[in-house]
A and B are shown apart, each in its own frame.
Chain A
Amino acid sequence: MNVPVAHFLVVAVMLFAIGSVGVLVRRNALVIFMSIELQLNAVNLALVAFSRMHGRLDGQVLAFFSMVVAAAEVVVGLAIIVVVYRRRRSADVDDVSLLRW
């Protein structure tokens, strides 16, 4: 059964929106990271959908790249959060606001 491409795109947009809201609203660093992962997955979905639409593999290749980068970024980000948590006993991002005027 042929699912129209538009459906995939709409899902991707909704995922991205949910992820954005999560990044902006939540205070826990880990939850923010999960939201970022949501955004990235939304993008991957969109890429694959477009790849299907044009009948070329470029989108899927790019999705692979995106996944690799996401993995690397998660490693670094979680390491930072762990260090910060050890110092401050809290994962609240509003607390790390020393780089201000």
Chain B
Amino acid sequence: MLDTIWLVPALPFAGAAINLFAGRRLGRLAGWLGVLVVAASFGLSLWLFADLVALPGDERLAVQHVFDWIEVGSFSANVNLRVDPLSMTMLLVVTGIASLIHVYSIGYMEADPRFGRFFAYMNLFVGFMVILVLADNFLLLYVGWEGVGLCSYLLIGFWHERVRAANAAKKAFITTRIGDTLMLIGIVLIFLRLGSLDFGKVLTGSITQTQPSGVFTVISLLLLCGAIGKSAQIPLHVWLPDAMEGPTPVSALIHAATMVTAGVYLVARTHVFFGASGVALTVVLIVGLVTALYAATAALGQDDIKRVLAYSTISQLGFMFFALGLRHYGAAIFLLVTHAFYKALMFLGAGSVMHGLHGESDMRKMGGLRKWMPITSATFVIGVLSISGVPPFSGFFSKDQILNAANHTEHTIAWLVSLVAAFVSALYIARLVFMTFFGESRVEREPHESPPVMTVPLILLAVGATVAGLLSVDAVTGRLPTFLQPVFGEVAEPVHGLPEAVLTTISVGVALAGILVGWFVWGSGRVDWMALATRFGELKRFLASGWYVDASYARTLVPAGRLVAGFLSSGIDRRVIDGSVNAIGALVQRLAAVGRRVQTGLVRNYALGLLIGAVVLFAYVGARL
């Protein structure tokens, strides 16, 4: 299998091509084809995994050269696919969760007239994401990076007749573009300073000795900009809540489990660069922590069920970046894995709720849904317990690792802030679940449970969200961290801080406290939370708008951007570029007006011309002789 790695991205691309051209004729079959190629990719990934672990721990690396792409002078970037523990982990998460979401989409999108095209775009996305994760050089990674960005645009704006969806797609693309451009500059710098773009050559342990650390700071910060854009961290996070305009399977796959994790993957992959620069790691840490807390508070003020989950994703990604900043790369990846399970689960659950309520997504119009949608409710609750960090669910293990690592640094304030963020996380998700599934029902029509094609993936994801914690359970360090060791190196031993048991109790306590408060306010019926929302309306609006960040961009950056764009389009594009092209045309016309006077139509003039020409020719030849 290790020499047919190329099949893993090739199959989804093939599925995309077939569905793009023949999707309409296939009808329902298009959906199953989409499922088939991604499931096959997942199967191949499992086989790859088996082959990989058959190798001894130190040698778990396989690079397949698929074909030559660019070889110019000293610059070479070829299509090489790299399988090592990190990319293997990402690959399994991506293909596995994508398979389940594709199955779910067959039910969710069944009434849509562009059914086939949806699966084409989804397959295309999976193909590009696999390329991103398996790339062995920065240029190929960037191809995957841009490809998933494109698919995100296509899928957010899938219902492009809706103005809000079209605008959201544009916003997502343009915002991530800012990060992507800076990242590209970083990639160029990598080549200029380090001589190559291949991971094998550039991401070694000894590379940091070859250049002053300032170089790595600049490179890391530029790459980080790309990660911030793609993973929706402050200040480029504004596109993700609006991206909820897209179909819910899109939100689950792209904006929860896979694409947005690409930034985390990038930093983890290039941790050698970040590690060489203390500044860059600190920036990562601060960005992650601030985003985690900020987004958690914003989630608290949302009334739309998907927007809560969107801000929740931003916040959880913040935790991942926080972990990366603490040099606990393995913990960040572990959170990425568990988050993929429970966040995809909750998004699909929200989709199930919306499907059952015929499109309603405002939580103020829900309530008490668990009596009509038992499977959705039960699986969703598992997701809630997981994200809050309640043992024995998977989220507990991943969050616990990170909070404990925070305590082991000398910056106690970081640990305290992360605890506050964890509390708010539990709070907002408890609010969501109690407003939606428990209490009195405020629904307008009686809902129905979703069909098995949608509930079975929910159940499978719930199982994953429950048991994924086992990936960490091991006598000393944990199975996943050990697996990732060849990539990340040893995990730093705790230097100071409170003992393990105390820390775990504190973090579980924080989680339970959040859920308790959430139950008290929104679940127990003892507090009139609707009146509370009106009384604290100012605060709620502040939180709901994301601390008015988006609005402030709309008032400052957007007009500035429009001005620049206007100048470029009418000033430069129309006047300079079109002008010069038109001027050339006018010049040719003027020359022609002069030149055509030769064509008098009189034969005798032509005869004269012939004669003169002949004479000149003979004179020239004669003179030469």
Contact = CB atoms under 8 A, between A and B. Distances in A.
16 contacts: A23-B604, A23-B607, A24-B604, A24-B608, A25-B604, A93-B602, A96-B601, A96-B603, A97-B601, A97-B602, A97-B603, A100-B600, A100-B601, A100-B602, A101-B597, A101-B599
A32 B608 CA distance: 13
B594 to A, nearest CB: 11
A93 B607 CA distance: 12
Interface class of chain B by DSSP: helix
Interface residues of A, number: 14
B611 interface: yes
Contacts of A25: 604
Interface string A1-39: 000000000000000000010011101000010000000
Interface string B554-568: 000000000000000
B604 A94 contact: yes
Contacts of B596: 101
B601 A93 contact: no
Interface string B371-412: 000000000000000000000000000000000000000000
B604 A20 contact: no
B382 to A, nearest CB: 85
Contacts of A76: none
A97 B600 CA distance: 7
Contacts of A72: none
Contact of B599 (A20, A24, A32, A99): A99
Nearest to A96: B603
Contacts of B604: 23-25, 27, 93-94
A75 interface: no
B611 A98 contact: no
A96 B604 CA distance: 11
B608 A100 contact: no
A101 B597 CA distance: 7
Contacts of B599: 99-101
Contacts of A93: 602-604
Contacts of A97: 600-603
A100 B604 CA distance: 13
A26 to B, nearest CB: 9
Nearest to B614: A20
Nearest to A25: B604
Contacts of B597: 101
Interface string B569-609: 00000000000000000000000000011011111100110
